[in-house]
Amino acid sequence: MKLIGEIFTLALLRVQVLRWNYLQQKRVQKLFYGNSLFAELDKSLKKLYRFNSPFKISKQFLLRKGEEDIHCYGETPLTTLDLIAKEGRISENDHFLELGSGISRGLFFLSSHYGCKATGIEWVPEFVLKSYDISKSYPSLDLSFFLSDMTKASFEGASFIYLYGTCLPDEVIEALAHKMKKLPSTTKIVTVSYPLSDYLPSSFHIHKKFEGEFNWGSAEIFIQSPIAL
């Protein structure tokens, strides 16, 4: 009976997530498809993953690597990313860097909607290759994609860094915090569910804290900067 109950609960959660994603896409189309460039990009992106979802691709990659957590793929809803951009006052002068950029939907959105330079760090090769292939058709956008472990990547030149990373192990977050504390104090760093000061208390100043919606529920979002040495 317990197993049947668990199966029913998982099935119900899946239905709820699918419904949430459907309604979210309707909101995205209503709010952002007025930008014809983004609408074209987004449709191209969806077509690429129509028969092989990002979740499946990520799971297969993590299985091959022998990772324990093979279900850690997640995407930031564009309505939440738009809220982050507004709260952080992102502009065309910014260089947005996403750590764990996935299929790069957020990068395409911010670059086409806000005019900023956008760079993604991602360790799933298929995501990086497909993002690059799409970007070649849009040379007016300043987009870059790097296949790398985020703890080993360079953050140089970034003025706005986004780390979703709710499923990352503490040791990875702490390693990233140590890298980020060396960045210029003007750098804006956005994290979800936790501030970096939880890991390095005297190294970061929190500017803003607000709520954002994800397909699994709401979470606190923090905008912070390194404290100048």
pLDDT digits (tens, 9 = 90+) for 190-217: 999 999 999 999 999 999 999 999 988 8
1-10, 119-128, 204-213: least confident range: 1-10
Q: Can you tell me the distance from the alpha carbon of 216 to that of 196, in angstroms, rounded to the nearest whole number?
A: 22
> How many C-beta atoms surround the C-beta of residue 47 within 10 A?
10
pLDDT at 33 over 60: yes
Provide the domain limits for residue 50.
36-226
pLDDT at 69 over 80: no
Give the pLDDT confidence score for residue 65 in this predicted structure.
79
Give the pLDDT confidence score for residue 158 in this predicted structure.
97
pLDDT at 149 over 70: yes
The CATH number of whichever domain residue 164 belongs to comes to: 3.40.50.150
In a domain, 123, yes or no: yes
In a domain, 12, yes or no: no
Query: For the whole model, what pTM was predicted?
Result: 0.91
In a domain, 113, yes or no: yes
Q: Can you tell me the distance from the alpha carbon of 181 to that of 225, in angstroms, rounded to the nearest whole number?
A: 8
For residues 141 and 164, the answer to whether their CB atoms sit within 8 Å is: no
Q: Per the structure, how many domains does the chain have? A: 1
pLDDT at 68 over 80: no
In a domain, 16, yes or no: no
